[in-house]
A and B are shown apart, each in its own frame.
Chain A
C-alpha cells in the first residue's frame, strides 16, 4: 500500500509525528511481517500506479505493524521522517499478506492519518528550523549521572540518539525499567537508539529490542537509518558482525548508495579511534570505510566513558581535510568516567569529568556540534563542519 501526505502549516520543530492506520473488520492476523518504509519517490499517482510500474521502495525503515485487533488502530512513530512542511510518501509492505488496512477510499473515519505535533522553540533564533540530533552513550545505571543528562534533554528538542550501553549492568528489562525509563525514558518517543556491549549482556540484546521496539529498527539487527532534513542518519551495531561482506556491512553500503541526502552522520557504540583505556576498535573499520567512501561527515560512538573529538580523518586515522570523517566519542552519558591512555594523533578535545550530551544542529550543507555539560559544570566544546 502506498500513502502520500502533504504537511502544511507547521511553524515550530516537529516533536512527534504519528501515522495511524486502521485495521478493517475483515481479513486475518497481520503478524509481524508488515514493514513501514519511507518512499523517496513523490511522483507516483493514485490512479496511475500499477503493480508493474510501482515505485521502488528505497527509503529509510520507519517501523512495523504489530498487535492490533480487528477494527482498531495501529500507530507508527514517523517523527524521524516528518521533519516539517512538505510532501511525504510512505509504503506499507505486507509480504505475508494478512490484515486488510483501510485506505482513503474507506471513508474519512478510518482513512490513514498523519498527526504532527510541534513545539515552538522560543530560545533559538529565527531561521533555526534545522533539525537537531542530540544524545550520548553509556547512560543509565545506579548513579546520578543519567538524570543529569536527562535534564539536558528536557530542554533540547529534536531527535535523541544513544551510542550504546543504554542500561547497566546487563541491559535487562529490569535495568531498563529501573534506570533508563525514569531518566532518558521520558524522551523515548523521540529516541533512535543503538546497542552496546552491556545491552548484549542480555542474550541477543533481547530486552533492548523489546524496550525500544520499532525505534531500534528491525528487531535483532540493530542497524537502520532515517533522514533528518538534508541529513541521512545511520544507526549501526558494533556488537555483531561488521566485517566486509557481513549482512550489516552490505546493508550499510546499499543504504548509503540509496540515500539522496547531501550529508550523512552515523552512530554506534565502539569507537574506531580513541585515546581511552579501551583501545581503538579495528573491527568497526569496514563500517568506517563504507561511510568514508560515501562521503559521510560524522561518526559518533561511546564505550569509553569520556568525551573525545578528532579532526576529520581517513579510515586509517590520518588527518584528511578534504574527505575526512570527524569521529566523536560521547561516553559521558551518565554511567561514570574512564582514565585516559595514550593520546592519539588528531585528537582535538577531551574530557573525562563532566557528564553531558552532544548536540548536532543539522544545517542544509553543514553542521554545528556542541557538547552541552551537566548543570554546574563548565566544560564545553563547539564548532562547525561542512558537508563534503
Chain B
C-alpha cells in the first residue's frame, strides 16, 4: 500500500487533539493504598495495534485511525507518530496538526523507539534503534535521536550538535527525549558501557549528566520529577524497573511494578504514572501506578499503548 495514499484517506477523521483538560483532584486522602485512575474525562490519544487512535475515559469508546503508528505523542495540537518499521527496518516520523493534517514527514532508519512533543507543540524528540525488543539475547546496537523544530524542519542531533558540559563523551548514544519547554530537555546517554540521565539546553547547545543507570525519562506535568526506567544491573539483559527521579533531591524511587514496561512511561496527572505492559500474546495494556510509590498497579486501558493525556 502506498502510505501517502493511505495517509490521504484518513484526513476526514476529525478528532480534536490538545484541548484543555479538567484535572480532577488526586485520590482521596482517606485512601491509604491509592489505586491509580485516569484523572481526565477528555479523550486520550493511544496506539491501537499499530494504528493511531484514541480512548474516551467517560464512555470507554475507542476510535482507530488508519495512520500507522508504533509510537505516538501529542501536545498543544501537535501529534507526532513513528510508523512501524518496514522490512528494510525503515521508519518514518510524521508530525501532524489539527485533524491529523500532515506538517512534516521525516524518513528514519531503525525501529521506532520513542517520540515526545514539547509542551508548546513546537519541538518533537524522536528515537529509533537499529534493533530492539530483544528480551534476553541482546546485542546492543545504536539508537539515534533527533529534535525536530516543527516550524522550520531543522533537526538537532544530540550526538552531533551538543557538547557535554561535564567532560567529553565521544561516540555517546542518545535516546528517549522528554521536554520541559522549548529549551530544556532530558534524555538517556549510553557511553563507555554506562547509562546516564542527561539534561540538555538547546540555546547553549550543552548537556550535562544528572544521574546514572536510569533511562526513558518522562517529565511530570509540574516539571519536578521524571518517570523513568531504572537499570538494575549493568548487563544488557538487565530488567528495567519503573521508577521516579526527583529533580530536586536527585533521588530515584522504584515504583511497585516488577514487570518489564514497554517504552517510555507518561503521566496522567502529577500523581499517576502511566506505562504499557505487553502480554505474552502481543496485546498491550495501559497501566497506572501512584507516583509516590505507595499504590498498587492498576490496569486502566486494555488493548492499547502510548497513552497521551492532553493538558
Decide if B283 touches A352 in the complex (CB within 8 Å). Answer: no
Known: A337-B135, A343-B49. A277 touches B111 (CB 8 A): yes
Chain B 267-281 interface mask (CB, 8 Å, partner A; 1/0): 000000000001011
Q: Which residues of chain B (121-148) have a CB below 8 Å from chain A?
A: 132-139
Check if A275 is an interface residue, CB within 8 A of chain B: yes
Q: How many A-B residue pairs have CB under 8 A?
A: 71
Chain A 120-148 interface mask (CB, 8 Å, partner B; 1/0): 00000000000000000000010101000
Check if B151 is an interface residue, CB within 8 A of chain A: no
* Residue of A with least CB distance to B139: A169
**Cα(A350)–Cα(B85), bound, Å:** 20
Q: List 23 A-B contacts (CB under 8 A).
A: A275-B282, A279-B84, A283-B87, A305-B137, A335-B137, A336-B137, A336-B138, A337-B135, A338-B133, A339-B132, A339-B135, A339-B278, A340-B278, A340-B281, A341-B50, A341-B70, A341-B85, A342-B50, A343-B50, A343-B282, A350-B281, A352-B135, A353-B280
* Residue of B with least CB distance to A349: B281
* Residue of B with least CB distance to A283: B87
Tell me the dominant secondary structure on chain B's binding face.
loop
Check if B86 is an interface residue, CB within 8 A of chain A: yes
Chain B residues with CB under 8 A of A88: none
> B23 to chain A: closest CB distance in Å?
33
* Residue of B with least CB distance to A308: B282
Chain A residues with CB under 8 A of B262: 339
Known: A342-B50, A350-B282, A351-B281. A279 touches B87 (CB 8 A): yes
**Cα(A338)–Cα(B84), bound, Å:** 15
Q: Among the interface residues A169, A335, A342, which one has the most CB atoms of the partner chain B within 10 A?
A: A342
> A42 to chain B: closest CB distance in Å?
45
Chain B residues with CB under 8 A of A351: 280-281
* Residue of B with least CB distance to A275: B282
Chain B interface residue bracket vs A: 20 to 34
**Cα(A277)–Cα(B89), bound, Å:** 9
Chain A residues with CB under 8 A of B136: 143, 145, 335-337
Chain B residues with CB under 8 A of A353: 280
Chain A 257-294 interface mask (CB, 8 Å, partner B; 1/0): 00000000000000000011111111100000000000
Decide if A352 touches B282 in the complex (CB within 8 Å). Answer: yes
| A-B pairs with lowest CB-CB distance, top 9 | A342-B50, A340-B282, A339-B133, A336-B136, A336-B137, A350-B281, A277-B133, A337-B135, A353-B280
Q: Which residues of chain B (247-288) have a CB below 8 Å from chain A?
A: 262, 278, 280-283
**Cα(A296)–Cα(B37), bound, Å:** 51
